[in-house]
Structure 1
């Protein structure tokens, strides 16, 4: 499938500030790879407030401005916007002013859970963010161990008003068949609304966004893939995006023989 533009809302392209790109050379390589993949706009989303990385709003904005100047000087046709992959913690409301949204008005924000679990206070935190006018977009739920075991957790967050993002690499099988199948189920049940690269400049974490969109188009029809791409554009512009027609994933039945 060909797209006029592809917006990537989750990418660790800024150099030397988290576990993504480790140097300007890495970042330029990622940028060239993105362009080759058809990506035209990237939301730079370094980790923020997890156990290892703190990337303040002002620092990210400055780094994006510098990196954009570097891209322009090399005539790489890519537009970068400042964002963060915000790790859930109990102080997000107190630190709200230091948080970057997907859009300028912070109508949407990427929210990351630990890979191993979903914190007990997650529902309350989502409620608090919604109350502030920010819709959390739960990133890569297909890779969260607790959600893998119980998909109703994600269903309830979507029901509460959150959105969710599946990773392109997950969808095409880069994290294994089980994660790919779960990603497909999330798309089938409308529990995720966008696909993003989550590119990190390391092997297996590069740009396969156009491949994932094409695969979604193959699996669910061209209109579904187009909607996923449009949702990414609408989110970065701060337009309304809502989960719709979503449904629970049926649990496997256990049969007992006596």
Structure 2
């Protein structure tokens, strides 16, 4: 079965493996965070993603109280603008929204209020600081799970305090976290350490979701290059990826 799914189509300029047609992490609502700046940029990237083989995109703007203090309302407003433009241009792709929450007090407050934007079966995407190890992780994960959420840690390979000691990922996993790696990490887009950590997660069967984390066209260009290699097949061979089941 998998050999058929992963058989490479030669002489095709753009090819995405059939197993990965749903993306769960991107920043495609204009001028709301550090992602795309204009509606035209958003639509251009979505069209390129569609041509590559994506059938569903769940975009996830940052909710970060100290930098991008977005709310359900601000995200919904921008999402509707993109959705309407897709309709006007007859771009036939499923476009949904969730959020990428920053691990801070505001995030904890939203958990306790059960007021989180989710995707699929109550999955919640969140991130840590890249350089400062967070405190109280065990308690917050317990609260997420107790509230019926399924916590998904965005790009775990990019946190320096974990990538410097790869065995720590196993401890995090034991807490009940799901992991979403950025495919561009495996393409050296973020540097050598994230690539090494991402490869560790792949090789040790710790990856649950993959994501594009597209902020601009250069992210897409790198992703397109990656999807035309055998590396994507390796990710799916070694892990039970859930992207196409949401």
Normalised by the shorter chain, which TM-score bucket?
0.7 to 0.9
1:108 deviation in Å? 1.1
1:206 deviation in Å? 4.9
In 2 relative to 1, CA 146–25 (structure 1 residues): closer, same or farther, beyond 3 Å? same
Alignment partner of 1:147 out of 151, 157, 162: 162
Alignment partner of 2:201 out of 174, 177, 186: 186
Answer yes or no: is 1:138 the counterpart of 2:149.
Answer: no
1:36 deviation in Å? 2.1
Distance 2:57 2:222 in 1: 12
1:153 deviation in Å? 2.9
Quote the residue 1:233 is aligned against. Answer: 244
Query: Which residues of structure 2 form unaligned runs of 5+?
Result: 1-7, 9-16
Residues 124-162 of structure 1 show CA distances to partners (whole Å, capped at 9, x for unaligned) of 211111111112101111111101112233212211111
In 2 relative to 1, CA 177–216 (structure 1 residues): closer, same or farther, beyond 3 Å? same
In 2 relative to 1, CA 211–160 (structure 1 residues): closer, same or farther, beyond 3 Å? same
In 2 relative to 1, CA 186–32 (structure 1 residues): closer, same or farther, beyond 3 Å? same
> How many residue pairs were aligned?
229
TM value normalised by structure 2: 0.83
Distance 2:233 2:94 in 1: 28
TM value normalised by structure 1: 0.80
Query: Which residues of structure 1 form unaligned runs of 5+?
Result: 237-258
Alignment partner of 1:158 out of 157, 173, 193: 173
In 2 relative to 1, CA 149–138 (structure 1 residues): closer, same or farther, beyond 3 Å? same
